[in-house]
Structure 1
């Protein structure tokens, strides 16, 4: 029966999070989803914080809208990154090598 575990380490300036699902393909895909999804959510938060500071108006509706936007952006870009990393990993496993030709197949 497969088991999963969670591990994290913090080293300046890196934060590594490892989720072991028991399947290397899923490990790589989930890792890509989490890393890029977090970056997209942080970018969205930074943009909204800039507009709040610049505009000066701070309301509950804006916070709610900002939170929804953060979740949507994180989920969207995380899904795209997870699919890309998963496809790249699959192509690498099929071909047996890791090179730029693998990435060219994905763009054609």
Structure 2
């Protein structure tokens, strides 16, 4: 029986933006803000496009404007960018304090940022501890996945 194969590759455009603040820690935190903030803004843009297309398909027009969508993109980008910036700074700080570069820095940085976000969200007690554990777990998993590739 004849066979056929399909072979191909997919590559993403790469944009290198370098912001040099003169301090390695500051450079990394700014880089984290820009990368994750951009991803969050792109996620909102995709959601907004989907909702607009869905409304148009149904014959209705959404009540919010393009200005509202841009505002939401900026808000989400700034929020997630700030969280990433704090995490990257915390993880880098842990590396400098401990003098080691391993998964424990991600765990500690993620736990501190998870607890901080929880406290800022006006959570108390066990919820703060639970969010610290989640933050540490997510950061550690991301570190392991990043090292695997």
Range class of TM-score, shorter chain:
0.7 to 0.9
- Deviating above 3 A after TM superposition, structure 1's stretches of 4 or more consecutive aligned residues are none
Return the structure number with greater relative CO, CA threshold 8 A, min gap 6. Answer: 1
Paired residues, what number? 97
Instruction: Give, in angstroms, the shift of residue 13 of structure 1.
Output: 3.1
Instruction: Look up the match of 1:81.
Output: 84
Q: If you compute each CA radius of gyration, which structure gives the higher value, 1 or 2?
A: 2
What CA RMSD, in Å, does the superposition of the two structures yield over aligned residues?
1.8
TM-score (norm 2): 0.60
Structure-2 residue corresponding to 1:6: none
User: 1:12/1:103 Cα in 2 relative to 1: closer, same or farther (>3 Å)?
Assistant: closer
Alignment of 1:1-108 (within 5 A): 12-56=12-56, 57=61, 61-106=64-109, 107=111
CA contact (8 A) 2:91 2:108 kept: no
Q: TM-score, normalised by structure 1?
A: 0.82
User: When you count strand as a share of all residues, which structure comes out higher?
Assistant: 1
Uncovered stretches (5+) of structure 1, i.e. residues with no partner: 1-10
What runs of 5+ residues in structure 2 fail to find an aligned partner?
Answer: 1-10, 112-131, 133-149
